[in-house]
A and B are shown apart, each in its own frame.
Chain A
Amino acid sequence: MKRTFEMINRMQADGVISQYAIGGAVGATFYLEPSATLDVDIFVTLPVASGSSLLSLTPIYEYLTARGCRVEGEYIVIADWPVQFLPPIDSLEQEAVAEAVQTEVEGLNTWVMRAEHLVAIALRTGRAKDYARILQFLEQNAVDRKKLNQVLNRHALIPKWKRFETKYLRETNE
């Protein structure tokens, strides 16, 4: 995966993408024990072309395919890892990219979403595997509850969190 991040960093240095942050299962692995995943989610901000308000992933695909990467459905395979590039769709994801934590993989700089953003995005996405991941964060005290509440409050996710608590944390709280 180091070569995957090397390619993404090179793409960033070449100005194809602006900031990026690792999310999803690989991002969660920064805080939790590793769990099997087959792909990498990269949330990425793109330079907006002058005279256009449209965001397009085409420059990413063109850049990477020119360097030997292949497209597989919604993924592009970089150094044997399918990567999904996701432009932020709302203020939560924009904040998650902007506040990503810098870290290293084998001496290579990379950026990972903060635990509170990973939890908030998982809550909003709301699939069974997302809820399971939230429970992992809580069980392992890998998330700052005060900061999480602030993120949930800023992005109108408190009602959804209350429902999650009622459904999954009621027994723990009793």
Chain B
Amino acid sequence: MSKPEMRKKLASLSFTEKIKILEKLRDRSRAIAASRTRSVSPEATASQENSKQPE
């Protein structure tokens, strides 16, 4: 299925179905954000803070 066809198909879904997709998209965004937060360890953050030059 081409991208325009897929967009058309998604646009034709009921509002209820679209809201369910919005919820999944939101959950995915949150999961990605949480994994990014976890990948920045406290040690790395502290190290970055220590490397800052005083103004």
Contacts and interface: CB of A to CB of B under 8 A. Distances in A.
Given A36-B29, A140-B7, A103 B15 contact: yes
Nearest to B21: A34
Nearest to A103: B15
A66 to B, nearest CB: 26
**Interface of A: prevailing SS:** loop
Contacts, number: 50
Interface in A10-29: 26, 29
Interface of B: 6-8, 10-11, 15-16, 18-19, 21-23, 25-26, 28-29
A36 B19 contact: no
**Interface of B: prevailing SS:** helix
Interface residues of A, number: 21
Contacts of A2: 19
Interface of A: 1-2, 26, 29-38, 81, 103-106, 112, 140, 142
A33 B7 CA distance: 6
B4 to A, nearest CB: 8
Contacts of B21: 34
